[in-house]
């Protein structure tokens, strides 16, 4: 089998991998991508994109049942789960096909199969257990992503106990659903199914939902979810899942108390595991810790010429973080002096539940723990004209500043469209803005973004509309 030589090979065609490949091609490198499943990876095919299509559907269903507040009346509103799923899959396919086009446009060669390191600068590609190609490159980036974690005794079966994949393609709406884990994935599915009419229970082993968010935002979110009818158990562990013909009975433990709850289906959202198996790492100096590859600030591993980006490296497990790492890694390989290491505190996080949650930077608790004297600003949705006009008055914008320097340490938001708004604070963090620049910035009226301005003003005792 002839060996094909490249300047760079990327193993994995997800958001981090395909962006790294495109940047490499832009910089004149002969580049290849090896992908064993679908271009676009989990994000485009089974994650970020199709879930947002599903959540859009549930938002519409929610609106249709609250039309009276806008002066409309509708009768016999119903939905077709098969069509909902079909639309979600169609959206995913459209974007995956778009990545194929980008590969062709940038003259990136794509190999269909599983890539495994086969000696220094070499990669063997197999398909269905048969040799497909032998590749060589001075630089190899591992962008193999991650998969859903499974806990002993809580293994998914694809029928009654689901991972995110099964949760995205239901054949019908379950009357009741138990969601194990209240991070972004768990809460998004809880929100989707609750807004379509399922009875939803969320169980979280930690003491609050959305545990990586600011405590004030987590508390606000819990109240909102419970008002929607969700049942939430925090500081609670699922000890056992007992299956019957068409339901599951879960045994819950909260301290010394145990209880049981029955649900038609269970969604497991208890974290992820890096895809590090079968990559040929055994014969290299690449280190793996807690199922994730160890890489330095430039995404280089301990093995010269081998790099790792995205979910296989570690948190935050976000597509846009993987993309940014891909660019950093490639630009460093190319010797560009414009490359800067990733500051993970500048990576915004978004949860597309109802209401939406978004944040960037340090929480109030983290800022204080790091020794900062802080100034906190808050502005409620109920005081914003655009929010009132939209009928979306549930929400809060919170800012955290260093009291001595005025540096924006963090921003935390819950409410309509905060996933679109958070980039304003992300830019401010990247530019190392202080309260002075933000206060002097003119925000358009009437917009939801005005609340971002007011939350800054409030931190300095200057809020106008509260």
Q: What is the pLDDT of residue 150?
A: 87
CATH, range 3-148+273-344: 3.50.50.60
Taking the CA atoms of 157, 162, 164 and 169 in sequence, report the sign of the dihedral they define. Answer: positive
Query: For the sheet containing 265-268, what is the strand order?
Result: 161-162, 265-268, 176-180, 199-203, 231-233
Least confident of 56-65, 326-335, 336-345, 388-397: 336-345
* CA–CA distance, 343 with 361 (Å, rounded to integer): 10
Q: What is the pLDDT of residue 42?
A: 87
The residue ranges of DSSP E strands in 314-373, in sequence order, are 349-351, 357-361
Asked whether the domain spanning 355-459 has the same topology as the one spanning 161-270, the reply is: no
Question: 16-36 burial by CB neighbour count: b if 16+ within 10 A, else e?
Answer: bbbbbbbbbbebebbbbbbbb
Which tens digits make up the pLDDT trace of 236-292? Answer: 999 999 999 999 999 999 999 999 999 999 999 999 999 999 999 998 999 999 999
Burial class (CB in 10 A: 0-12, 13-18, 19+), 145: buried
Residues 355-459, CATH architecture: 2-Layer Sandwich (3.30)
Question: Residue 227, CB half-sphere, CA atoms under 13 Å: how many?
Answer: 9
Cα angle at 189 between 183 and 195, to 5 degrees? 125
Q: What is the pLDDT of residue 153?
A: 87
The DSSP result for 101-140, as a single string, is HHHHHTT-EEEESEEEE-STTEEEEEETTEEEEEEEEEEE
**Is 139 noted as a catalytic residue in this protein?**
no
Of 324, 365, 346, 367, give the one whose Cα is nearest residue 422: 346
CATH, range 161-270: 3.50.50.60
Which one from 65, 66, 340, 445 is the annotated catalytic residue? 445
Length of the chain equals 466
Which tens digits make up the pLDDT trace of 423-462? Answer: 999 999 999 999 999 999 999 999 999 999 999 999 999 9
Which tens digits make up the pLDDT trace of 373-399? Answer: 999 999 999 999 999 999 999 999 999
pLDDT band at 2 (very low <50, low <70, confident <90, very high): low
- Residue 356 pLDDT exceeds 90: yes
* CA–CA distance, 114 with 278 (Å, rounded to integer): 9
pLDDT band at 333 (very low <50, low <70, confident <90, very high): very high
* CA–CA distance, 39 with 108 (Å, rounded to integer): 12
pLDDT band at 340 (very low <50, low <70, confident <90, very high): confident
Phi first, then psi: give them for residue 162, nearest 5 degrees.
Answer: -105, 155
Domain spans in the chain, listed from the N-terminal domain onward: 3-148+273-344, 161-270, 355-459
């Amino acid at each position: 089998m002839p060996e094909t030589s490249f300047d760079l090979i990327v193993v994995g065609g997800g958001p981090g991998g395909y962006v790294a490949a495109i940047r490499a091609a832009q910089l004149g490198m002969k580049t290849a991508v090896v992908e064993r499943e679908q271009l676009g990876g989990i994000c485009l095919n089974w994650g970020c994109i199709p879930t947002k299509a599903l959540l859009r559907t549930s938002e519409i269903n929610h609106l249709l049942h609250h039309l009276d507040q806008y002066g409309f009346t509708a009768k016999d509103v119903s939905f077709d789960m098969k069509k909902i799923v079909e639309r979600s899959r169609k959206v995913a396919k459209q974007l995956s096909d778009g990545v194929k086009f980008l590969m062709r446009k940038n003259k990136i060669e794509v190999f269909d199969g599983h890539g495994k390191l086969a000696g220094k600068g070499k990669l063997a590609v197999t398909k269905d257990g048969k040799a497909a190609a032998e590749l060589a490159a001075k630089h190899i980036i591992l962008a193999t992503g991650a998969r859903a974690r499974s806990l002993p005794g809580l293994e998914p079966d694809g029928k009654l106990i689901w991972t995110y994949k099964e949760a995205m393609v239901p054949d019908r709406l379950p009357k009741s659903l138990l969601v194990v884990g209240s991070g972004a994935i768990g809460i998004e599915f809880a929100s989707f199914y609750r807004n379509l009419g399922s009875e939803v229970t969320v169980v979280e082993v930690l003491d609050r939902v959305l545990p990586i968010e600011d405590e004030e935002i987590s508390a606000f979110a819990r109240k909102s979810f419970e008002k929607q009818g969700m049942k939430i158990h925090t500081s609670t562990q699922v000890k056992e899942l007992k299956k019957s013909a068409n339901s599951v009975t879960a045994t819950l433990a909260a301290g010394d108390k145990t209880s049981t709850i029955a649900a038609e289906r269970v969604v497991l959202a208890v974290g992820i595991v890096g895809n590090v198996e079968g990559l040929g790492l055994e014969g290299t100096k690449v280190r793996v810790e807690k199922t994730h590859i160890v890489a330095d600030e430039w995404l280089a591993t301990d093995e010269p010429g081998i790099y790792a980006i995205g979910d296989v490296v570690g948190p935050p497990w976000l597509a846009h973080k993987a993309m940014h790492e891909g660019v950093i890694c490639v630009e460093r390989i190319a010797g560009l002096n414009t490359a800067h290491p990733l500051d993970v505190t500048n990576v915004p996080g978004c949860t597309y539940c109802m209401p939406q949650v978004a944040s960037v930077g340090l929480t109030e608790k983290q800022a204080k723990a790091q020794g900062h004297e802080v100034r906190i600003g808050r502005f409620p949705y109920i005081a914003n004209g655009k929010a009132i006009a939209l009928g979306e008055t549930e929400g809060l914008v919170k800012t955290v500043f260093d009291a001595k320097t005025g540096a924006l340490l963090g921003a935390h938001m819950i409410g309509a469209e905060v996933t679109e708004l958070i980039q304003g604070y992300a830019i401010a963090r990247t530019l190392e803005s202080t309260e002075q620049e933000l206060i002097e910035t003119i925000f358009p009226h009437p917009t939801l973004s005005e609340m971002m301005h007011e939350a800054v003003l409030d931190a300095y005792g200057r809020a106008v509309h509260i």
